[in-house]
Amino acid sequence: MLSRRLILLLLLFSLSESAFSPLHPAKPVHANHSVAYTSLEIIAEVNTHRMSLGINPLALNATLSKMAEDQAHYIQSLDFHPENYDFHKDAHGEYPRQRALRYKWPTFGPDHKQIEVGENAGLGSVQFIMDYWRKSELHRTAMENPAYREVGVGVVPHEYGFLIILVFGARPDIFPPLFDPERCELFTANERHTSGGGNWVHSVQTVQLTTSDGAPLTQPQAWQLQMLLPPTTGYQFSMVLDGDSQELIEHIDLASPDNIVIIPNTLPMLEKGEITTLCVSDPVRVVNVPTSTETPITVPTTPTVATTVPTSTQSSTVVTTPTQPPTVVAVAPPATQTPAPAIISSTEVKPTTVGNPAGVSPTTPEVFATVNVNRGSNLQCRQYPSSSAFSLGLISNGSPLTILGLPGARDERRGFPDGIVIEIPDYAAARLGEGIEINELWLNVLWQMPEGTQLTCWVNAFYVSTSYQGRSINSVASYLDLVQRDKLDFIPYNVPGGAPNQ
């Protein structure tokens, strides 16, 4: 039974037990955020860093948070100096891998040395600490270790900002699924523990989504870090992971913050305790604030130290449930939305003359663009900017191109679509992640309206507006946006006005 308390504490520490790099700001940093928000923020920063490298995000775990919280309070109780104190040694003189056994953290087999636990420690603001960890080889190695799947955090206020302890870990046969409620993506890790032997899954080969009672929702597919969630799964379903002739089942409830990935995009939801998603078709659900992936383990009392931890400080690490219950909102995409398979690309385009909202002939010659289509793309029709989709798939031979994604914000509800279907006349594009050339490609964007009517918008694919890390790249018109966070997906060239803005 999962705890309903969100343990929002911690920081990242070095995995090494033999070396410690003191981390503190050059001058005091005043804390502008609460302990709870800081705890979420540091995990979000670490997850963002890992995901940018193609490494799985970390799920919040109650036992690891208990370890981190206890260590943070112990260090706070001492009259320590950051320059010469070992943040990773506890009151028993033990380091993270040793004390993890007292917290009953599972090992990979009977050998207690085969345990996946690491720790980073920091003193200052979140930004200061993250900057330091990125520059420190020891801290960066721990932060980027692909063997870790879970994390715990302990945060206490300090004159420099915050003292943060982050404990990383992994358990055999536990692969917590994490959901991005905006991008409709489901993340799951694989086993990266390297010791031989043992009766645990050493490698996940296939993943399949099923209903809670085992009925298949998808076909088994090769494991990958992230997958697009079909809108027909509903809120509650299961993920079946198969590897080494063993089958593991992870149960998922999208209405539970336990399954929400902690990244900057989800911080406002997690801070308010309101999880909103339009990715699936279940009715409105009421949920509580995030909690972690496991009930914390009771640990024997540590020895008395010179200065005891004030009760008020410890209570500051607990996040209370909001008095107003949050809601989860879902809008059902139309039945015609089915995932588009990856196909072979083609460089020949046969344009079809259609209605032209831009006032430009679709047969305008010598206009090309290079498109890199992938699961992180965000496609928008400027005529209705509240309409967007967060995954793009293409089908060949004039078949419909399907986008599974999100309409706009709830308060922009007037006339916005339940889903988007794009048809490409007589043209085959690229499989996901590959670059293609397009020439005079017109897309018919068809919205299925809630009232049963249809709304159509034609856009020319070489009339685009894109951005990369805050810099705009504009073409002749702005009828189609293809943007991904922190990565340029649409690079116009040989297009009037296509050069980057200075």
Q: Work out the average pLDDT over 178-198.
A: 87
Is the pLDDT at 164 greater than 70, yes or no? yes
> pLDDT band at 66, cuts 50/70/90?
very high
Among the ranges given (50-54, 125-129, 270-274, 369-373), the one the predictor scored with the smallest mean pLDDT: 369-373
CB 419 within 8 A of CB 278: no
Q: Work out the average pLDDT over 404-418.
A: 31
Predicted local distance difference test score (pLDDT) of residue 277: 84
Measured CA to CA, the distance from residue 424 to residue 211 in angstroms comes to 33
Is the pLDDT at 262 greater than 80, yes or no? yes
Predicted local distance difference test score (pLDDT) of residue 199: 85
Between residues 90 and 279, the one the model is more confident about: 279
Pick from 165, 11, 171, 194: nearest CA to 88: 165
Q: Work out the average pLDDT over 349-359.
A: 28
The kind and range of the H/E element at 455 are strand 454-460
Q: CB neighbours (10 Å) of residue 236? A: 16
pTM: 0.56
Predicted local distance difference test score (pLDDT) of residue 194: 82
Q: Work out the average pLDDT over 196-211.
A: 89
Predicted local distance difference test score (pLDDT) of residue 86: 66
CB 374 within 8 A of CB 403: no
Predicted local distance difference test score (pLDDT) of residue 69: 93
Is the pLDDT at 250 greater than 70, yes or no? yes
Predicted local distance difference test score (pLDDT) of residue 183: 82
Pick from 368, 339, 333: nearest CA to 431: 339
Measured CA to CA, the distance from residue 118 to residue 168 in angstroms comes to 5
> pLDDT band at 33, cuts 50/70/90?
low
Among the ranges given (241-255, 275-289, 311-325, 440-454), the one the predictor scored with the smallest mean pLDDT: 311-325
Pick from 163, 138, 160, 132: nearest CA to 70: 163
Q: Work out the average pLDDT over 262-270.
A: 91
Highest mean pLDDT (candidates 132-146, 164-178, 256-270): 164-178
Between residues 156 and 244, the one the model is more confident about: 156
Structure tokens, 24: 């503190």
Burial 27-52 (b: 16+ CB within 10 A, else e): eebebebbbbbbbbbbbbbbbbbbbe
Tens-place pLDDT, residues 117-154: 999 998 888 989 999 899 888 899 999 999 999 999 99
Q: Work out the average pLDDT over 469-475.
A: 34
Q: Work out the average pLDDT over 437-447.
A: 37
Is the pLDDT at 184 greater than 70, yes or no? yes
Predicted local distance difference test score (pLDDT) of residue 367: 23
Between residues 169 and 496, the one the model is more confident about: 169
Tens-place pLDDT, residues 319-333: 233 333 222 222 223
Between residues 62 and 113, the one the model is more confident about: 62
- Backbone region of residue 245 per phi and psi (left: phi > 0; alpha: psi in -120 to 50; beta: other values): left
Is the pLDDT at 355 greater than 50, yes or no? no
Predicted local distance difference test score (pLDDT) of residue 58: 97
Q: What is the mean pLDDT of the chain?
A: 61
Predicted local distance difference test score (pLDDT) of residue 281: 66
Predicted local distance difference test score (pLDDT) of residue 85: 60
CB 352 within 8 A of CB 450: no
H helix intervals, 295-355: 311-315
Predicted local distance difference test score (pLDDT) of residue 294: 53
Is the pLDDT at 365 greater than 50, yes or no? no
